[in-house]
Structures are given as C-alpha cells and as structure tokens.
Amino acid sequence: MAELPELEILKDTLNSLLEGKKLLQASIRQPAILKTVNPSLSEISGKRLVRVERIGKHLAFQWNSGVFLVTHLMLTGWMKVCAGGIGFNKHDEFALSWEDGQDLRIYETGRECMVAVYLVSHPQQVPAVARTGIDPLSGNFTAEVLAGLLTARREKLKTFLTKPEFVSGIGNAFSNEILFAAKLSPYAIPANLSPYETESLYLAIRKVLSEATAGMRERVCGRFPRKADRESFLKVHNREGQACPVCGSTIAAIWKGLSATFYCSGCQAGGKEYHDRRFDKFLK
C-alpha cells in the first residue's frame, strides 16, 4: 500500500500536471469503484481542477464547481497518465480525460476491487476522511500532541502507528522503519512509553517520513513514484535475515497473513526474537 511519502509526491506531481486544466469527462470501467451517487460524475465534466490535496492516505481533487473527488488507492491501486486514445486494459478502472488529450487513469493490479472513489461537496463527507487523525508532517504535530495520543492506548505500538485515526498516512512499511529508528519494540504498549521514548518516537516519525519524502522526490524527478523507489530508504522492512545496518544483529520478521513486522532483535528487542506464528503449523 502506498504511504505518506509516495502519496505526498504523487499529490505534488498531479498538481504540476493538471492544476487549472479542464476535465472533459470521467469514465468508469469498474462500477464498484464509485461509492457515491450524488453528486454525479457529470458535475465535474467541463470543470477546471483547482487543486489536489492529500488527507492521510486519501487524495482529494477539487473542481471549480465546488465538487471534490476523493480517492483511496488501497493495497494495489495506483495512477498513470497516458494518451486518451490508448485503449483500456483489464487493470484500468477509472479515467479522467482532460482537454489536452491526456487521461489520468486509476488502475489496480490485485484480484479484488478495493480502490474507492467518492464524489462529495466536502472531503469530510467521506467517513474515513472524517476519522483521519493528525498529519505527522504538519506543523500541528508536536511531541506533546503525540504524548496525548499515546495516553491510555493499550494496543501494540506497531498497531497504534498504523491506525489512521491517530496519526495519518503511516502503513506497514514506514511503521517498521519508524520503530527501528526510535529503537522501540513493536510490542511496546503506547501508554507505557517513558517521556524519553515518546520523544524518540516523535523524532523518528518526523525524520523517517520527511527524509523518505525528500529522497524519493529527488529520485523520481517529476514522474509518478513507484513502489521500487522507496526500497533504498528502507533499513528493516523486507530485510529479514539481513544484518542490521546499526548493530549487525539479524533482522527478523513476525508474519500475520500477507503482512509482516520487521525489526532488529538487537536494537529493538534486547537481543531476542519474538515468536513468529507462521512456523506453528510445523509443530502440530
């Protein structure tokens, strides 16, 4: 799933390409993608794009008619720009056709249609947007704000970081990187963090996300980012079995379904490895 760094760059690229342009029409290739009925797609046809904003993991397109198109790309959705005359392939689900002959298309490579598109008069009318927490790169996000969010939270710290109603835009990959940078266990209880640990977590959130965003922005040079663009900024995510770049311990993983928590046993777990349930079936 795309996370804050990729989506921030995608938002800026969309603005540089499309801001002020007139939309000719919107085309749906996968009916399940559209989650609203009113306003209709006809209300953005012939209108000019004012701006694209990122709200957590959502992108909100604003037209000069006052209508917003809000989308969440979910696990396997992404966007591309192509000539409008090019035929649709089986992955293309939604298209915005512009006055300059270009299409912006949303496509999805997974088997299930999970991408969501909403047309609303305000982004807050999208339930998930209304529940979105503070943006970790905003000026309003401080160590004091984070400390307040941690209070009374009893879930695992990794789970806390990936809940968008607290701190928005962080997913599996960058929560792993943040915890590694802060030298905190993914199993730590948020409410039990010391003031020092809370400060370390705050600094890690800001540093990891801002450095990844800046680094990927330089790498993509104006094009849409790809998943591979973030690989060079990841120190533990998808690095199971490799040596930790800080202490040399082995990077381990805890798998749950198709996702995993990656961590350094030396930096984050006092030299021990946590139980990985994917091996339990061999013990029965």
Question: Does the pLDDT of residue 69 top 70, yes or no?
Answer: yes
What's the mean pLDDT when you consider all of the chain?
94
Domains 4-130 and 143-283 share a fold: no
pLDDT band at 280 (very low <50, low <70, confident <90, very high): low
Whether the predicted model's global pTM rises above the 0.85 cut: yes
Question: Does the pLDDT of residue 234 top 50, yes or no?
Answer: yes
Higher-pLDDT residue of 90, 111: 90
Least confident of 4-13, 132-141, 253-262: 253-262
pLDDT band at 279 (very low <50, low <70, confident <90, very high): low
Least confident of 40-44, 98-102, 107-111: 107-111
Q: Output the CATH code of domain 143-283.
A: 1.10.8.50
Q: What local confidence, expressed as pLDDT, does residue 17 receive?
A: 96
Separation CA 79–CA 94 (nearest Å): 10
Q: Which fold has domain 4-130?
A: N-terminal domain of MutM-like DNA repair proteins (3.20.190)
In three-state secondary structure terms, 256 is: strand
pLDDT band at 112 (very low <50, low <70, confident <90, very high): confident
Average pLDDT over residues 64-72: 97
Question: Does the pLDDT of residue 74 top 80, yes or no?
Answer: yes
In one-letter notation, the amino acid at residue 170 is: I
Separation CA 14–CA 9 (nearest Å): 9
Sign of the torsion formed by the C-alpha atoms of 125, 127, 133 and 135: negative
Beta-strand pair 102-108/92-98: antiparallel
Q: What local confidence, expressed as pLDDT, does residue 226 receive?
A: 85
In the DSSP assignment, the letter for residue 243 is B
**Residue-range domain boundaries for the chain:** 4-130, 143-283
Question: Does the pLDDT of residue 282 top 50, yes or no?
Answer: no
Angle between helices 143-150 and 195-220 (to 10 degrees): 120
User: Going by C-beta distance under 8 Å and a sequence separation of 6 or more, which residues neighbour residue 213?
Assistant: 4, 5, 8, 9, 137
- Are the CB atoms for 159 and 171 separated by under 8 Å? no
Question: Does the pLDDT of residue 256 top 90, yes or no?
Answer: no
Question: Does the pLDDT of residue 284 top 50, yes or no?
Answer: no
Average pLDDT over residues 46-69: 98
74-78, 189-193, 230-234, 269-273: range with highest mean pLDDT: 189-193
